Amino acid sequence: MQDIAYDHLEKIRDLLLSKGHTPGSLRYHVATFGCQMNARDSEKLRGMLEYVGFSESPDEDCDIVIYNTCTVRENANQKVYGRLGELKGKKKKNPFMKVVICGCMMEEKAEEERIKSSYPFVDIVFGTMNLSEFPRLLLKNLTDKEKQYEVTEIDRKNDDLILSLCKEDPILPTKRKYPFKSGVNITYGCNNFCSYCIVPFVRGPERSRRKDDILDEIRTLSKDGVIEIMLLGQNVNSYRDPGRDDITFPRLLQMVEKIDGIERIRFMTSHPKDLSDELISVIKSSKKICRHIHLPLQSGSTKVLSQMNRHYTKESYLSLVDRIRNQIPDISLTTDIMVGFPGESEEDFLETCDVVERAGFDSAFTFLYSRRDGTPAAGRADQIDEETMHERFERLLSLIHEKSGEVSKRFLGQTYPVLVEEENTHDPSLMTGRLPQNAIVHFKGDASLIGRIIPVTITESRDFYFFGESASS
């Protein structure tokens, strides 16, 4: 599959050259909606387009626009349709222009049909399983001038499909957003079927990549200047090497730790039901694994958690938090919380607030429950009305602000190794970097520091970010 993808890319490059498009003259724009997995897929799309000679455009006034979509909540879909409408006019002005849509939204039959019927100017559509087929689809569109639709239907009963998905792991060219850090997929898909969530339907069955492929990729990244990696999966804790059942996530982390040049290891996301004591002790004894765990709570009510199919209770979540903090006192915990799950009562909501009071989260992503067709929760009659949902959301938000303001005080006056990521967008005399705990810090410095890990002393705490001072500035 890898050779075929490169074969097609080379054919595209030759074709464009033969039509007089010099390298860099054609421009692309990839817009990413959604999570870190999509961000990583977009780096591969960028890599493929640069490989054939396109150069990046900051906006959609260009020759090929790709929307890498998300569908986890309804508003993610709305954002895509909002921007898609504007492309029609741009395409009239630039007849060469190609419009491509891929990602999770395209795995929903209804959305694919909507694109086909209402947005006929879209040239190429492909699904989450078809990333490596993009070169073939683009080549065919360029030569035949016909629209290309390729969405592999996710069939969990088809063992051959699942097996081929596990085996197929082509290394595609990538263009990273940051030269010094990168995401690395370790699992794809999800088998958890939380009752509100569409991800298992659009990203398919969970499959782990072979450890050797993961380690090879990280070694290559390290040689290319990457010092921080983020291991990615919907539920990294259930990682198992497909050939070796004993290679679990903690074992994988220990192997990654040994790779020269990698200085920081992060991972995302951890399902609380699978976070083992072994993982806690591996983090504790590691010199490279960052002191940050993103541990989605979703709800603090044991009743709601059970209806969400989350496989933990309020008490077991809190006791996990205690175990983590006892072993790794400098850990930062962040979380995802949803309000308005069907049937959520005021008492249930107060249980969620109680966990926020007690867990000491550094920050939290908060979401209004969004009804996703095909999920078990969408069929429930006891949906929560908008007004109640919004009112709870606001209360939760102010509680999270208050609590995170309290816990972030522990950083003040402390010095941390900070990976300098970029110039501050508002004030170029400031640099922006990240603590091992994942929090963002702004401090005086210059662009020569970008990509380096330097000590920064935290001087001021704001909403979910900090100001600091560096001895190097």
Amino acid at 272: P
Amino acid at 292: H
- The whole-angstrom separation of Cα 195 and Cα 354 is 23
The least distance separating ligand SF4 from the CB of residue 84, rounded to whole angstroms, comes to 25
Residues that bind ligand SF4 (CB under 6 A): 190, 192-194, 197, 199-200, 234-235, 271
Nearer to ligand SF4, 194 or 253 (CB): 194
Nearer to ligand 5AD, 194 or 247 (CB): 194
Q: Which does 124 bind (CB under 5 to 8 A by kind): ligand SF4, ligand 5AD, none?
A: none
- The whole-angstrom separation of Cα 82 and Cα 435 is 36
3-class SS of residue 272:
helix
Q: Which does 442 bind (CB under 5 to 8 A by kind): ligand SF4, ligand 5AD, none?
A: none
Q: Which does 64 bind (CB under 5 to 8 A by kind): ligand SF4, ligand 5AD, none?
A: none
- Exposure b/e, 21-39, CB count within 10 A at least 16 = b: beeeebbbbbebbbbbbbb
Nearer to ligand SF4, 25 or 276 (CB): 276
Nearer to ligand SF4, 96 or 193 (CB): 193
Nearer to ligand 5AD, 278 or 386 (CB): 386
The least distance separating ligand SF4 from the CB of residue 223, rounded to whole angstroms, comes to 32
> Residues with Cβ < 8 Å from 15, sequence gap 6 or more?
139, 142, 143
- Cβ atoms of 321 and 359 within 8 Å: the answer is yes
The least distance separating ligand SF4 from the CB of residue 200, rounded to whole angstroms, comes to 5
The least distance separating ligand 5AD from the CB of residue 424, rounded to whole angstroms, comes to 27
The least distance separating ligand 5AD from the CB of residue 411, rounded to whole angstroms, comes to 25
- The whole-angstrom separation of Cα 462 and Cα 263 is 28
Residues that bind ligand 5AD (CB under 6 A): 72-73, 196-197, 296, 298, 336, 338, 367, 369-370, 372
The least distance separating ligand SF4 from the CB of residue 336, rounded to whole angstroms, comes to 8
HSE, CB side, 13 Å, CA atoms: give it for residue 390. 3
Q: What angle do CA 39, 364, 357 make, to 5 degrees?
A: 165
The least distance separating ligand 5AD from the CB of residue 316, rounded to whole angstroms, comes to 18
Nearer to ligand 5AD, 132 or 235 (CB): 235
- The whole-angstrom separation of Cα 389 and Cα 293 is 27
The least distance separating ligand SF4 from the CB of residue 429, rounded to whole angstroms, comes to 40
- Exposure b/e, 59-85, CB count within 10 A at least 16 = b: ebebbbbbbbbbbbbeebbebbbeebe
3-class SS of residue 356:
helix
| Residues constituting the chain | 473
Q: Which does 190 bind (CB under 5 to 8 A by kind): ligand SF4, ligand 5AD, none?
A: ligand SF4
Q: Which does 359 bind (CB under 5 to 8 A by kind): ligand 5AD, ligand SF4, none?
A: none
Q: Which does 192 bind (CB under 5 to 8 A by kind): ligand 5AD, ligand SF4, none?
A: ligand SF4
Cα–Cα distances (Å) from 13 to 6, 95, 218, 273, 421, in that order, read 10, 20, 28, 48, 33
3-class SS of residue 262:
coil
Q: Which does 370 bind (CB under 5 to 8 A by kind): ligand SF4, ligand 5AD, none?
A: ligand 5AD
Nearer to ligand SF4, 53 or 127 (CB): 127
> Residues with Cβ < 8 Å from 331, sequence gap 6 or more?
283, 291, 292, 293, 324, 325, 437
- The whole-angstrom separation of Cα 55 and Cα 394 is 43
- The whole-angstrom separation of Cα 267 and Cα 435 is 15
The least distance separating ligand SF4 from the CB of residue 168, rounded to whole angstroms, comes to 21
Amino acid at 192: N
Nearer to ligand SF4, 105 or 124 (CB): 105
Nearer to ligand 5AD, 134 or 369 (CB): 369
The least distance separating ligand 5AD from the CB of residue 374, rounded to whole angstroms, comes to 11
Q: Which does 435 bind (CB under 5 to 8 A by kind): ligand SF4, ligand 5AD, none?
A: none
Q: Which does 173 bind (CB under 5 to 8 A by kind): ligand SF4, ligand 5AD, none?
A: none
Nearer to ligand SF4, 37 or 439 (CB): 37
Q: Which does 367 bind (CB under 5 to 8 A by kind): ligand 5AD, ligand SF4, none?
A: ligand 5AD
Cis ω before 269 (30° cut-off from 0): yes
DSSP 340: -
